[in-house]
């Protein structure tokens, strides 16, 4: 939450000349479509019979729609497994780099970050080729090691996607954590050493508290990202059409409802329900994160 | 600044919604004045600018040939994506009320959907009914949907393509019936577990032609009355037969068109394909390793009597949003019925829908080296003559195909019963149809 | 390196600088090797891309994925990528650059102004401003696509560059970063001093604050560049004319060209195109790392 700037007695409108342009565009590309989506969600437009006001009917349907909840549970599972793994890896990498005990620190920092610069579409096309269990790299691996990796099998699919997402974003999160660690004043470490604190103690007493804020932010962004999962499964779909079905994630479901099924109204409803859930969870994490900080 | 923007938006919302609403169907009243056949030549004379969406490789060359002949007309050829991607863009443009091209390529299976949403111009007003004798019965039936909503370009009568080298190596004979086909699949896979007679990971664009070939007529469409029976005799016949391939693992689980699939064709993992008559051109163009090995044969039958179906193929249609429908129709007439245009189309490896080309000695006499000098078009033309009649697609077929993987696809991944998958698909389609206001029986 | 030498060096160091474990601790080979796994994870797919972009389509269909093919066709592939379909790839590259310059440039400007304004002014509606922006980023952008699309098409913005550029102008993360950065690095006293000298608010911002914010601005710009360079979904629905496609959508279209009645697989060009798409953005990051790494430090402290 924003910190309070010193209170001023009279109304001061000067801030708007700075914040106005952003607000104007924001209203145009965010608020207006959002309002329009809300409006759309109150109607039902049939291929036969035209448009009719249906009130909250679409919301009732959404709350009991097994396909929506199937997708929702999938991204929830994804979130509960992939996000902690990714953030833990990112944190480990950040701590390792920050420890200055690596040779060629700069190389590590840069290379681990590199995948973030790869467009998601390119990343997925690439991993799609690699995942090919008949003739892709996976097939070569299976032959070489005698393993039976099947990245496109139903049981593996979520993990395969999780791997792509982890690959894309672990470096980005690592950098956020690393930057947070960099802000720790040198004197703090010196003081710790004088007190005789070592290794794990320094980690617990200085380093982890230093990254807590960054972890909260990264968690929130990762949660929003997971709930919005779309590009990766959608680009991978042609390679695993039966496994990545049309409601694999809520966002894919919303997309297919409108663009394949022409159910624009219901699609808008799904979007709003998903938005409300995401906002609520993100807000809860933020509250929890800040409360801990206060302690 | 922000107030102005906000006002624009508020004014915009209801308008967008109104145009977003698709017109109710079933009423034939044309809002605009009906065109006349004479309009076409006048429009060509007068000229203008057209936008044409297509993913056909010959699109640009055909448009160039057209403008050479009619210099007053400018045609902007746009590849707005292949098949479903294009339909999404087209659907969006229709919903938005602007942005659609004048002429668009639409596969036969999707035509009904666009006709129903009142997006296409009925070309009967321009006298297109007279063109009927030029086309094969099955392709004409596909565009004549209570109005002429397009002109056929290519067709895809089903054939079988097989790799003779592998057949020789494993002592397989070319199967004439599906029983023999399943037996051949067993023999090959038993002799070499790394090889498969064919692949199929679940593909509605493949399953439905096979149901059609088996005599299934799962969809009955009469205006907004829709009946769906994916367990009719023919559908079951196909599913039962294909279960014998799927359940014992005789189908390579490689999605058609994936990079793995192209590799499987190149290295002989997959020994044959059931496909449309456009497939030989693709093999020749993109699987050079197979040169000299591949052959073409009729698709296997159930009882020895030859029967085929259409697998793929597209028409071109004029969109209602076109500012100059007469000119668009005139271009379309030239595009899909003039010998000059069809010649360009054939040069690019397309498979025609016009009877004159299919019957020409030049066409049937082609004997490509890639197919060991076999006169493959003889097989293909025979297939086009044996297309069974009476198959209809749903007025929401694009959506239907998009949920095929959700239902039938599950049967594929679990190597389960395709009939169960078809039943699940039917349930999903019925519920969608009802939500969309169709009378579903 | 053997343990003995390492110990020896350590002792040597220790003798010279007693507090070296804080500033310059002993390098650990074990840790470096362990982190090497990380490096491999990040690099193997990129190496795979490079190797396979150097293969002909025929080599691509056979042979081991991490070994070079019979012929090294990278240059040939690059030439074909640039000339295929009348050089549409170059057009896509140009479009992408346009979207990046206009979209990311504009996003940086707007986010910088707004972040600064929020940090340094208490104006009516400030709290609501924050709440609305934080709340809105949680709504799935993908799902807002349809309303946005319908809205834009009413304004006849679809199928034009504006449909891509205008939505790219909003970067809530950028706003957040600048806000935090401003709080940390623009002292109020400096602004007050300038006001006493009679400078206008905008002038103060551009002459004083902007300089202090430079690392933050570079960071925001870089992340906006990545976001627009990688933008896929928005152009996918907004554009139907390939002449306006950015690289990402174009490459996916090339990839899907391998399917259907007129299938013509060009996987080698898809891979080469992907490689070419990555190179500029990676280059920008490598060249500007000094800036964005310091810029990020500020942003990450605040919760």
Q: For C97-127, how does the pLDDT look when each residue is reduced to its tens digit (9 = 90+)?
A: 999 999 999 999 999 999 999 999 989 998 8
For chain B, the 3-state helix, strand and coil shares in percent, each to the nearest 5, are: 50, 15, 35
pLDDT at A43 over 90: yes
Interface residue C28 vs chain B (CB under 8 A): no
- Phi and psi of B298, rounded to 5°? -60, 150
Per-residue confidence (pLDDT) for residue C107, from 0 to 100: 96
Least confident of C40-44, C110-114, C254-258: C254-258
- Phi and psi of C256, rounded to 5°? -80, -5
Contact, B259 vs A238, CB < 8 A? Answer: no
pLDDT at C35 over 50: yes
pLDDT tens profile B59-89: 999 999 999 999 999 999 999 888 888 998 8
Strands (E), B287-415: 294-298, 314-318
pLDDT average, residue stretch B49-59: 94
Residues in chain A with CB shorter than 8 Å from the CB of B412 are 242
Q: Which chains touch C (3 or more CB pairs under 8 A)?
A: A, B
Q: What is residue B78's three-state secondary structure? A: strand
Contact, C168 vs C99, CB < 8 A? Answer: yes
Q: Which of residues 74-103 of C touch A (CB under 8 A)?
A: none
pLDDT average, residue stretch A80-100: 93
Residue from A41, A135, A244 whose CB has the most chain B CBs within 10 Å, to mutate: A135
Instruction: Kindly write down the DSSP assignment for every residue of A105-132, as one continuous string.
Output: HHHHHHHHHGGGGS-HHHHHHHHHHHH-
Beta-carbon separation of B12 and C259 below 8 A: no
pLDDT tens profile B383-400: 999 999 999 999 999 999
pLDDT at C31 over 80: yes
pLDDT at C80 over 80: yes
pLDDT average, residue stretch A211-238: 88
Residues in chain C with CB shorter than 8 Å from the CB of A171 are 42
Per-residue confidence (pLDDT) for residue C117, from 0 to 100: 94
Q: Which of residues 101-140 of C touch B (CB under 8 A)?
A: none
pLDDT at B167 over 50: yes
pLDDT tens profile C154-178: 888 988 999 999 999 998 888 988 9
Residues in chain B with CB shorter than 8 Å from the CB of A21 are 1
Which of A49, A128, A239 is opposite residue B437, by nearest beta carbon?
Answer: A49
A99 or B313: which leads in pLDDT: B313
Q: At what angle do helices B108-116 and B84-96 cross, to 10 degrees?
A: 10
pLDDT at A290 over 70: no
Express as a percent the part of chain C with pLDDT over 70: 85
- Separation CA C227–CA C172 (nearest Å): 12
Per-residue confidence (pLDDT) for residue C293, from 0 to 100: 66
Residues in chain A with CB shorter than 8 Å from the CB of B91 are 259, 262
Contact, A157 vs A128, CB < 8 A? Answer: no
Average pLDDT, chain B: 90
Per-residue confidence (pLDDT) for residue A178, from 0 to 100: 87
Express as a percent the part of chain B with pLDDT over 90: 82
Residue from B85, B142, B159, B261 whose CB has the most chain C CBs within 10 Å, to mutate: B85
Q: Report residue B98's pLDDT band, with 50, 70 and 90 as the boundaries.
A: confident
According to DSSP H, which parts of B27-120 are helical? 38-46, 59-69, 84-96, 108-116
pLDDT tens profile C120-155: 998 999 888 988 887 766 666 665 777 888 888 888
Which of A19, A29, A254 is opposite residue C166, by nearest beta carbon?
Answer: A29
Q: What is residue A247's three-state secondary structure? A: coil
According to DSSP H, which parts of B192-324 are helical? 204-213, 233-246, 259-266, 279-286
Beta-carbon separation of C303 and A213 below 8 A: yes
Instruction: Kindly write down the DSSP assignment for every residue of B99-141, as one continuous string.
Output: ---SEEEEEHHHHHHHHHTT-B--GGGGTGGGGGGGB-HHHHH
Interface predicted TM-score (ipTM): 0.85
Q: Which 8-state DSSP code applies to residue C244?
A: G
Q: What angle do CA B188, B193, B196 make, to 5 degrees?
A: 50
Residues in chain C with CB shorter than 8 Å from the CB of A116 are 226
pLDDT at A119 over 80: yes
Residues in chain C with CB shorter than 8 Å from the CB of A176 are 296, 299-300
Q: Which of residues 53-92 of A touch C (CB under 8 A)?
A: 89
- Separation CA B289–CA B6 (nearest Å): 61
- Separation CA B395–CA B188 (nearest Å): 41
| Max CA distance (Å), chain A | 80
Residues in chain A with CB shorter than 8 Å from the CB of B116 are 47
Provide CB contacts within 8 A for A200, sequence distance 6+.
none
Q: Report residue B94's pLDDT band, with 50, 70 and 90 as the boundaries.
A: confident
pLDDT average, residue stretch A53-77: 95
pLDDT tens profile B100-118: 999 999 999 999 999 988 8
pLDDT at B27 over 50: no
B158-163 vs B294-298, strand pairing mode: antiparallel
C179: nearest Cα among C122, C225, C84, C112: C112
Residue from A140, A260, A269 whose CB has the most chain B CBs within 10 Å, to mutate: A260
Per-residue confidence (pLDDT) for residue B36, from 0 to 100: 87
- Separation CA A257–CA B158 (nearest Å): 32
pLDDT tens profile B257-283: 988 899 999 999 999 999 999 999 999
- Separation CA C85–CA C88 (nearest Å): 6
* Highest mean pLDDT pick, B204-208, C56-60, C199-203: B204-208
pLDDT at B9 over 60: no
* Highest mean pLDDT pick, A217-221, B361-365, C263-267: B361-365
Residue from B19, B88, B97, B99 whose CB has the most chain C CBs within 10 Å, to mutate: B99
pLDDT at A180 over 60: yes
Residues in chain B with CB shorter than 8 Å from the CB of A136 are 259-260
Q: Report residue B198's pLDDT band, with 50, 70 and 90 as the boundaries.
A: very high
A229: nearest Cα among A154, A158, A282: A158
Per-residue confidence (pLDDT) for residue C297, from 0 to 100: 61
- Separation CA A117–CA C279 (nearest Å): 9
Express as a percent the part of chain C with pLDDT over 90: 36
Beta-carbon separation of C241 and B80 below 8 A: yes
Interface residue C43 vs chain A (CB under 8 A): yes
pLDDT at C261 over 90: no
- Confidence (pTM): 0.88
- Phi and psi of C221, rounded to 5°? -60, -45
Express as a percent the part of chain A with pLDDT over 70: 95
Q: What is residue B315's three-state secondary structure? A: strand
Instruction: Kindly write down the DSSP assignment for every residue of C171-189, as one continuous string.
Output: -HHHHHHHHHHHHHHS-HH
- Separation CA B87–CA B105 (nearest Å): 9
Which residue is listed with tokens 């810029």?
C295
pLDDT at B379 over 70: yes
């Amino acid at each position: 939450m924003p910190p309070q700037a010193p209170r001023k007695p009279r109304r001061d409108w000067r801030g708007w000349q700075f914040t106005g342009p952003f607000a104007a565009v924001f209203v145009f590309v965010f608020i207006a479509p959002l309002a329009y989506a809300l409006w759309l969600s109150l109607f039902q437009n049939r291929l036969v019979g035209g448009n009719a006001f249906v009130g909250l009917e679409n919301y009732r349907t959404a709350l009991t729609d097994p396909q929506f909840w199937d997708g929702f549970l999938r991204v929830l599972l994804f979130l509960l497994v992939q996000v902690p793994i990714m953030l833990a890896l990112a944190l480990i990498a950040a701590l390792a780099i920050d420890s200055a005990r690596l040779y060629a620190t700069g190389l590590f920092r840069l290379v681990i970050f590199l995948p973030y610069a790869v467009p998601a579409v390119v990343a997925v096309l690439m991993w799609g080729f690699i995942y090919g269990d008949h003739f892709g790299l996976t097939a070569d691996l299976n032959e070489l090691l005698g393993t039976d990796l099947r990245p496109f099998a139903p049981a593996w699919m979520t993990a395969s996607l999780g791997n792509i997402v982890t690959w894309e974003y672990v470096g980005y999160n690592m950098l956020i954590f690393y930057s947070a660690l960099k802000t720790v004043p040198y004197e703090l470490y010196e003081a710790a050493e004088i007190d005789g604190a070592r290794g794990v103690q320094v980690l617990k007493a200085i380093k982890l508290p230093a990254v807590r804020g960054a972890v909260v932010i990264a968690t929130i962004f990762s949660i929003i990202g997971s709930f919005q999962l779309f590009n990766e499964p959608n680009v991978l779909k042609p390679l695993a059409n039966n496994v990545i079905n049309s409601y694999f994630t809520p966002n894919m479901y919303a997309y297919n409802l409108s663009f394949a099924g022409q159910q624009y109204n219901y699609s808008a409803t799904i979007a709003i329900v998903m938005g409300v859930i995401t906002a609520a969870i993100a807000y809860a994490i933020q509250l929890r994160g800040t409360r801990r900080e206060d302690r | 600044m922000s107030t102005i923007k906000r006002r624009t938006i508020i004014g915009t919302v209801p308008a967008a919604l109104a145009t977003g609403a698709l017109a109710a169907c079933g009423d034939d009243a044309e809002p605009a004045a009906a065109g006349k056949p004479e309009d076409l030549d006048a429009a060509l004379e007068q000229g203008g600018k057209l936008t044409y969406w297509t993913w056909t490789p010959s699109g640009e060359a055909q448009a160039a040939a057209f403008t050479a002949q009619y210099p007053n007309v400018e045609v902007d050829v746009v590849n707005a994506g292949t098949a479903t991607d294009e339909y999404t863009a087209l659907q969006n443009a229709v919903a938005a009320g602007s942005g659609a091209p004048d002429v668009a390529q639409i596969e036969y299976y999707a035509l009904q959907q666009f006709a129903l949403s009142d997006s296409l111009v009925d070309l009967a007003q321009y006298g297109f009914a007279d063109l009927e004798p030029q086309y094969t019965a099955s392709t004409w039936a596909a565009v004549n949907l209570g109005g002429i909503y397009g002109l056929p370009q290519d067709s895809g009568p089903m054939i079988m393509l097989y790799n003779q080298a592998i057949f020789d190596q494993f002592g397989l004979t070319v199967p004439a019936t599906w029983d023999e086909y399943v037996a051949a699949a067993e023999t090959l896979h038993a002799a070499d577990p790394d090889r498969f007679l064919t692949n199929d990971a679940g593909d509605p664009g493949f399953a439905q032609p096979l149901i059609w070939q088996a005599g299934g007529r799962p969809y009955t469409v009469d205006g907004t009355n829709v009946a769906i029976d994916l367990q009719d005799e023919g559908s079951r016949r196909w599913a039962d037969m294909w279960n014998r391939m799927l359940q014992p693992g005789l189908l390579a689980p490689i999605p058609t068109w994936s990079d793995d699939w192209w590799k499987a064709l190149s290295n002989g993992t997959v020994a044959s394909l059931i496909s449309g008559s456009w497939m030989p051109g693709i093999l020749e163009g993109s699987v050079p390793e197979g040169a000299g090995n591949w052959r073409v044969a009729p698709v296997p039958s159930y009882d020895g009597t030859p029967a085929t179906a259409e697998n793929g193929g597209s028409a071109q249609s004029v969109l209602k949003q076109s500012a100059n429908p007469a000119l668009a129709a005139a271009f379309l007439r030239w595009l899909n019925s003039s010998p000059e245009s069809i010649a360009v189309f054939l040069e690019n490896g397309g498979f025609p829908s016009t009877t004159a080309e299919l019957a020409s000695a030049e066409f049937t006499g082609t004997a490509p080296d890639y197919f060991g000098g076999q006169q493959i078009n003889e097989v293909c033309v025979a297939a086009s003559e044996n297309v069974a009649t009476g198959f209809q697609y749903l007025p929401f077929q694009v959506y239907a195909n998009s949920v095929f993987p959700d239902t039938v696809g599950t049967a594929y991944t679990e190597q389960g019963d395709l009939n169960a998958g078809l039943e699940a698909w039917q349930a999903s389609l019925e519920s969608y149809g009802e939500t969309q206001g169709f009378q579903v029986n | 390196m053997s343990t003995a030498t390492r110990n020896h060096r350590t002792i040597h160091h220790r003798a010279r600088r007693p507090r070296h474990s804080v500033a310059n601790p002993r390098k650990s080979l074990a840790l470096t090797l362990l982190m090497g796994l990380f490096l491999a994870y990040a690099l193997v797919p990129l190496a795979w891309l490079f190797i396979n972009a150097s293969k002909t389509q025929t080599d691509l269909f056979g042979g081991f994925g991490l070994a070079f093919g019979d012929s090294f066709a990278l240059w040939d592939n690059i030439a074909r990528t640039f000339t295929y379909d009348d050089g549409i790839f170059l057009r896509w590259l140009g479009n992408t650059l346009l979207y990046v310059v206009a979209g990311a440039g504009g996003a940086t400007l707007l986010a910088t102004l707004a972040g600064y304004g929020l940090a340094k002014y208490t104006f009516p509606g400030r709290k609501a401003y924050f709440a609305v922006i934080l709340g809105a980023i949680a709504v799935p952008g993908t799902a807002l696509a349809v309303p946005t699309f319908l809205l834009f098409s009413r304004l006849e913005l679809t199928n034009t560059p504006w449909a891509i550029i205008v939505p790219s102008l909003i970067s809530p993360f950028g706003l957040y970063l600048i806000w935090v950065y401003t709080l940390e690095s623009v002292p109020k006293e400096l602004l007050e001093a300038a006001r006493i000298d009679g400078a206008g608010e905008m002038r103060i911002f551009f002459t004083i604050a902007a300089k202090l914010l430079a690392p933050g601005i570079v960071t925001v710009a870089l992340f906006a560049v990545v976001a627009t360079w990688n933008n896929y979904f928005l152009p996918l629905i907004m554009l139907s004319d390939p002449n306006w496609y950015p690289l990402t959508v174009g490459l996916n279209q090339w990839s899907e060209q391998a399917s259907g009645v007129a299938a013509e697989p060009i996987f080698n060009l898809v891979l080469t195109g992907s490689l070419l798409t990555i190179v500029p953005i990676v280059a920008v990051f490598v060249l500007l790392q000094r800036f964005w790494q310091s810029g990020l430090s500020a942003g990450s402290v605040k919760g």
